[in-house]
Structure 1
Amino acid sequence: MSEMLYCEGCGAILQTTDQTKAGFIPSSALETGNRICQRCFRIKHYNEVIPIQMDEDEFLEILHSIGQTDNFVVQIVDLFDIDGTLISGLPRFIGHNPFILVANKIDLFPKSVKYEKIKHWLRKYVNEHGLFPEEIFLISAEKNIGLKEVIHYLEKEKGNRDVFVVGATNVGKSSFINQVIQILKGKQSHIELTTSRYPGTTLNVVRIPFIDGKDIIDTPGIVNHKRFSEWVGPKTLKAILPNKTVKPKVYQLAGEQTLFWGGLARIDQVGKTRNNFVCYLANGISIHRTKRENADEIYQKHLGELLKPPTIEEAKQLPPFAKHDFRFTGRNKVDIVISGLGWVAVDGEPTNIEVYVPKGISVHLRDALI
Structure 2
Amino acid sequence: MTEQQQSETAISCAGCGVRLQTANQEEAGYIPENAAQRDPVICQRCFRIKHYNEASSVAVDQDDFLKLLGSIGSTNSLVVHIVDLYDFEGSLIAGLQRFVGNNPVLLVVNKIDLLPKGMNMNRIRNWVQKQAKAQGLRTIDIVLCSAKRNMGFEHVIEALERHRGGRDVYVVGATNVGKSTLINRLIRDYSDMERELTTSRYPGTTLDAVNIPLEDGKSIIDTPGIVYTSRMTEVVPRSFLGALLPDKPIKPLVYQLNEKQTLFIGSLVRFDFVEGERQSFTLYISNALNVHRTKLERADELYDNHKGELLGAPTLEELASIPEWTRHSLRVKQGEKQDIFISGLGWIQANGMRGALLDVYAPKGVKVLLRDSMI
1:363 and 2:368 correspond: yes
**Cα separation, 2, equivalents of 1:12 and 1:286:** 46
Q: Which runs of 5+ in 1 are unaligned?
A: 42-48, 193-202
1:234 and 2:241 correspond: no
Shift of 1:15: 3.8
Residues 28 and 224 in structure 2, CA contact (< 8 A), matched pair in contact too? no
1:46 matched residue in structure 2: none
**Residues 267, 189 of structure 1: alpha-carbon distance in 2 compared, 3 angstrom cutoff:** farther
1:335 matched residue in structure 2: 339
Helix, strand or coil at the partner of 2:70 = helix
**Cα separation, 2, equivalents of 1:166 and 1:278:** 32
**Cα separation, 2, equivalents of 1:211 and 1:132:** 29
**Residues 241, 327 of structure 1: alpha-carbon distance in 2 compared, 3 angstrom cutoff:** same
Among 251, 273, 277, which residue is 1:273 paired with? 277
**Residues 211, 151 of structure 1: alpha-carbon distance in 2 compared, 3 angstrom cutoff:** farther
2:253 matched residue in structure 1: 249
Shift of 1:337: 0.5
TM-score by length of 2: 0.84
Q: Aligned letter for 1:175? A: T
Superposition CA RMSD, Å: 2.9
Shift of 1:307: 2.2
Q: Aligned letter for 2:13? A: Y
Residues 104 and 138 in structure 1, CA contact (< 8 A), matched pair in contact too? yes
Among 283, 297, 301, which residue is 1:297 paired with? 301
**Cα separation, 1, equivalents of 2:300 and 2:130:** 39
Alignment of structure 1 residues 68-217 onto 2, 5 Å: 68-184=74-190, 204-217=208-221
Residues 263 and 304 in structure 1, CA contact (< 8 A), matched pair in contact too? yes
Residues 147 and 180 in structure 1, CA contact (< 8 A), matched pair in contact too? no
2:204 matched residue in structure 1: none
Residues 108 and 246 in structure 1, CA contact (< 8 A), matched pair in contact too? yes
Q: Aligned letter for 1:224? A: Y
Helix, strand or coil at the partner of 1:279 = strand
Shift of 1:351: 2.4
**Residues 95, 287 of structure 1: alpha-carbon distance in 2 compared, 3 angstrom cutoff:** same
**Cα separation, 2, equivalents of 1:143 and 1:338:** 25
**Cα separation, 2, equivalents of 1:286 and 1:103:** 28
**How many correspondences in the alignment?**
347
**Cα separation, 2, equivalents of 1:190 and 1:299:** 58
Shift of 1:118: 0.3
**Residues 204, 238 of structure 1: alpha-carbon distance in 2 compared, 3 angstrom cutoff:** farther
Q: Aligned letter for 2:190? A: L
**Residues 22, 180 of structure 1: alpha-carbon distance in 2 compared, 3 angstrom cutoff:** closer
**Cα separation, 2, equivalents of 1:147 and 1:209:** 20
Q: Which runs of 5+ in 2 are unaligned?
A: 49-55, 198-206
**Segment drifting more, 260-269 vs 248-257:** 248-257
Q: Percent identity?
A: 45
Residues 208 and 215 in structure 1, CA contact (< 8 A), matched pair in contact too? yes
Among 59, 63, 69, which residue is 1:63 paired with? 69
Helix, strand or coil at the partner of 1:144 = coil
Shift of 1:24: 4.4
1:326 matched residue in structure 2: 330
Residues 144 and 179 in structure 1, CA contact (< 8 A), matched pair in contact too? no
Shift of 1:190: 11
The superposition leaves residues 134-162 of structure 1 with CA deviations (integer Å, 9 ceiling, x where unpaired) of 00000111111111111122112211211
Helix, strand or coil at the partner of 1:260 = strand
Alignment of structure 1 residues 48-59 onto 2, 5 Å: 54=60, 56-59=62-65
1:37 and 2:44 correspond: yes
Helix, strand or coil at the partner of 1:224 = coil
TM-score by length of 1: 0.85
1:196 matched residue in structure 2: none
